[in-house]
Structure 1
Amino acid sequence: MFETEEWFKLIKSVIFISSSNLSCFEKIDRILQSLSDSFASEACRFFRVEEIKEGSILYRILKTKKPFFSDELTPIEYEEFLKEEKILIQPFFVCIPVYDDSSFYGILYLGYTKSKIFSSEAIEILSLVSKEIGRILNIERLIEKKERYLSELGALYEIGKAVTSTIKLNELINLILITGQKLLRAKGGVLRIKDDTSGELNIKYISGDFNQNLLEERISKRVFSMKTPQWVHHRSEGKPSLSMMCVPLMGSNGLVMGTLTFFDLDNESNFEQRDFQLLVSMAEYVSRALENAYLYKGLEELNQRLKEAQNLLLHREKINALEELSNSIAHEIKNPLTSIGGFARRLSRLLSEGEAEKRYVETIINEVNRLEKILNDVLRYTNQGSPILKECDIVGILKESVSMVSFGNNTNGVQIIEEFEGSLPKINGDREQLKHAFFHLIQNAYQAMEGKGTIFLRVSSFRLNGTSSIRVEVKDTGKGIDPENLHNIFNPFYTNKTSSLGLGLPIVHKIITSHHGQIEVENQPGKGANFIITLPAL
């Protein structure tokens, strides 16, 4: 008889084997070896269900789902065994069915040639081991089922992998047709998408050797309207045959987004039923991918608008704080500076030319003038009032701005080329403010070229979101803007010039936006910059 400690060692060994990384069959072999050693059996094996012949003793034991044994106290007549079983089964044995709620797996068998008595504890231990064997086999069955399922999905996975590799709409549309053409061995394909405005079915993308014909167009429209896949072989006298498959692309809301069509095999033969079924299955992947791509595109556009709104809000908050601080400082400095300038001018008038004190006073006056100019720029920026809108001629404003720019002695080195479209519409604006804005842009363009180069002034009309608009370009051939500084150029007091306060472009930006316009820059480092202003026209 076994002691409790020995039973415990056996169960522990079985659990250890079961939780190891061995294969299913290796685990069962190890468990059988442990059982054979523990029970000192002459034969210990597992009969799989497919090995058990119907009508045999083992078969009847399996169906009862109960342990069965033949020992010294309860022997079984040897004649009850089939001929095949007599070779396998010893006179004294114990059989434990291995099963779970859904399946029979086989029988756990221990056999002896010498007299043996099986206690209830031994039967109970063997039943526990048989349950563990059943669990191992069940896990193996589930793994095999999963692998079989994955194998069946392999083809569709390849399609799905291709169409879900990107959510960028144009890339996705291109990939859909290229992948479909390859998998179906087609000569070409066409993707049609419904136009949200007109409701018409329009060609969005084509691939391969596609030649549009009336039959293909009619079938696509029929598939679109009926929401049903079509597979046709068309033959006409004197013309090449056409084998074509077309499927609707259904949205999750039940509406048709478009159609996907492939035609003619590369080997000149017709499509087969499996090709058609693959395309029908593919349509579901394509529909979801397209839907996601359109959703992503919409979210991208919305996110971009939100970012722009957030950046604008942050910019305005920062500008407002700077405006308040700058305005306060400018007012505090301007009054004593005016006094200094006034007294310096009075002293200058009292001193004779040639006196050393006269030169000192002139220096004071020049510096006061420079500081007053800086303060005026600050106050003009911080106290820029709302524009007084009147009908204006944008070309006239630009020409006046050019005349305000001081080119010094280098006028021969700078060329100004004016490209003004004829019959330009008028704009509604504040002439003085706009003149000041374009003055800053032209002055910056001149300074960027260091006295040598070309300034292009271009004005044209166009429609923006259905509204008449004016586009003004101020382009130079200087060194361009350092990309690291580009995002700061419209921020006040940001400059890389020692002689500038950094208010020129912020003033321009403030004036243009107050006129409900936009300003952007096309920057080419080493080649120049192009400032583009868009203003609403009348």
Structure 2
Amino acid sequence: MGADKQTVNAQRVWKLTASLLSGHSAVPNQPFLPDLQSGLASDLPLAIEKVLNTIVQTVPCQGAWLAIRRGESLDIQAEWNDSKAKNLSLLIDTNPILRRVNRSLTELIIPRGHPNWETLPVGPMKPATKVWVGLPLVIGQRLIGVIALWRQSEFSRNELGQLRDLASRVSPSVEVLVTFSEMAAHLRRLGLLNDFVLTVSSAQSLDQVARRMFGLLARAFNTELIALFLRSSDGRVLRDYRMLEGKLNVLNVSLAGHSIQPVLKEARVRRVMDAVKDGLVPVFKGARSVLIVPLKYRGQAIGVLIIENLHAEAFSQYDEHLMVVITSHMAGLIEYTRLREEAEGRARSLGLIHEVVQQVIGLNDKKEVAHITAELVAQYFKYELAAILLVDDTGTFFIQGIGGTQAATVQMALAEHQNNEFIIPDGVTGYVSRTGESVLTNDTNQEKLYKPIKGWEAHSEICVALKDGENILGIIDVESREQNAFSHNDLIAMESLAGILASVISSANQYQKLQETIRQLRAIEIELNSRMEAQRSAENRLIQAAKLAAVGEMAAGIAHELNNPLTTVTGFSELVLEELPADSAHRDDLEMVLREARRASDVVHRLLDFSRQGERIRTRADLNEVVNDVIALTRHLIQTNGVNLTLELSDSLPWVSIDRNQMKQVLLNLIHNALQAMPKGGELFVNTASAVRAERDWVIMAVKDSGIGILPINQDRIFEPFFTTKGDSGGTGLGLSVTYGIVTDHGGSIDISSEPDKGSTFTVWLPI
């Protein structure tokens, strides 16, 4: 990808790599093959089509196709005069002809009348067709593809020879094209994953998560037919997210009987190439292709993501795999976001209760208490109607406080009743006022008790009683025009509020008890804020882990693809240098090539170290022994850098479960980092000790230097992959990322304390 944007030297490296892979000279002597330096190399279907067209022009035929091997199947990438073969995937083991080609790795000629004529991979043939030829594309002893041609007359011996020669010359270039395509697809996948991590993972609400995710997917798949269905925590409500006319539409509906319910229950990935042929009813009218991916968190389906397209066969297996990866990340993010929203909802409930208590404490006017409470309920939860009804001495209920956007409408309707009575005897309010039992309904059409008021009809309602022992003092009634507007947490909040409100109304003598309640609520609020802060910290760690995972996957893919070509460049450069005269004009250039190749190889090895940090062998060990081993290795380096070393190791240090080699790598990275921060010498302190944090025992290892320090603006990014403050002086930005990954993999953490021009301290915490 982007070959035309590479430097001249980079293009030469790619050209040399391609020539070495194909076993031919780097000078292009096969003009009919795609030039790897052109943009054609990044477009596999177009490049394969060009290869096939060249073959067809060389040896005339009636029809042809070219298939690339993908695992145990052959995917037809190009066809000539055979539209039915387009995009077909052929299983090798299920077809006797393909099976023979795979085993023999030689061409196979099938004339009409042959026993296998009826089993041709893509058939049936036209009546005039007389012969079919299958040519294997082979690298070493490995089948990488098949070219099939057929026509009305037999192929001559000369033509068959030409075809064999073409197949042998095409194979290396096809191999390189496939490799380029896979690398490009891999990079696109990592790019989308990176966008997901950077944009979606930073969202603060479920609606924001959905909006950002829809934007990414719409650009990636060129469709706005995207729907997300999330099941509520209690499994009763389904939240339906869709993009309609460029805007996010959110609807809460009942899960029972919904068409998505069996999809959630099945929790299976499905890729439907043509919904019309498969008899599947799509979410969006007119959609042909459907990709269904469940969102699973800890083995349970919490939702399903559906992407549709108006065209058939719009989604590939690669798209399916990509969405599985994205939804695996997204499921955890959604669950964490949902937990945070629930925590914020509880915080609002506690805030409401706290505010009500603060404002009504000491008031003796029950009507004023009810009015303040109704206004606060509507303000905190944005309910369309919040009403407080209190019973008088005659046992009649009257509205004493009302709030919300529909308050005026209800008051106008009640004005027709001279006594302003809101209680409907056979309705929800009448039932609660008689029994004292709470009612929560999210679909009033299904609630027999619900009776609408003139001018106002709700679809969701919560009604709770204000009780002092067995006495009912009043009720709290909240309503919404939307279905499924309330959750169980809302009911709990209203019941909690009702209990406190009943206490205020029943007796002003409860003042002291309510003051204690205030103190308890403040303590709960502090605890909740602490938990929310811990939740935000956990989310930040999740985002950091997702970044490391995405970069690690990218590092492994790129490193493996580059390692072999770099080894070849290094080896051949060394051989040429050995044979080149000392006074050759090309020696300096070749030596520069060798140096740069070795430097690139070193970066590759660092990438591999970052993506897979070796075999993990953890044992109970003395961390002091690890420190002593590393100091023995680096003492000379420390001294030659003009640095004074101070070593303070605890004599009673508990043993910890560690991978000794990995922990040595951690300390080596920290010491090298410290030495680089003291180019003119300085003081280096290394110490170990026992410590207690968060009611848990830990072993700590600290590395302190007197170097240049780290700017505050860079401290939050110091552990990010590829982030370095060294500029042109060296460093890939992987050392501290590797260190962070090893420590967190051990269940520990690493802290940094630094001041510019005063030095830095890195403290590693390991659990005992």
- Select the structure of larger CA radius of gyration: 1
TM-score normalised by length of structure 1: 0.45
Query: When the two structures are superposed, what TM-score results if normalisation uses the length of structure 2?
Result: 0.32
Higher relative contact order, chain-length normalized (CA < 8 Å, sep 6+): 1
